[in-house]
Amino acid sequence: MATTNITMRMDEDLKAQLQELVSNLGMDMTTFFTLSAKQAVREQRIPFMISMDIPNEETKEAIEEVRQMKQNPSMGKSYTDVDEMMKELLV
């Protein structure tokens, strides 16, 4: 089977990290890209999930609020009675 060369550009830090990863897995960059290409062709899809699942601002704020509450539990309110909690949530 004839082979061909491919030239591509990549951030040098990303390249170094990828080289280290694939080396630790016992392969080189050519093997990694060939393996990825073969899997993509065999499955007729990108062989990993591509997602834009980035939290929106409201979610980021809620995550930060929980982090702060974990560090300072007095910021939040605790309940010992589920009915009492539900009354406050539904008001």
d(CA 55, CA 62): 10
| Cα–Cα distance, 6 to 47 (Å, whole number) | 20
To which H or E segment does residue 58 belong?
A: helix 57-71
The 10s digit of each residue's pLDDT in 8-59 is 999 999 999 999 999 999 999 999 999 999 999 999 999 888 777 788 899 9
pTM: 0.54
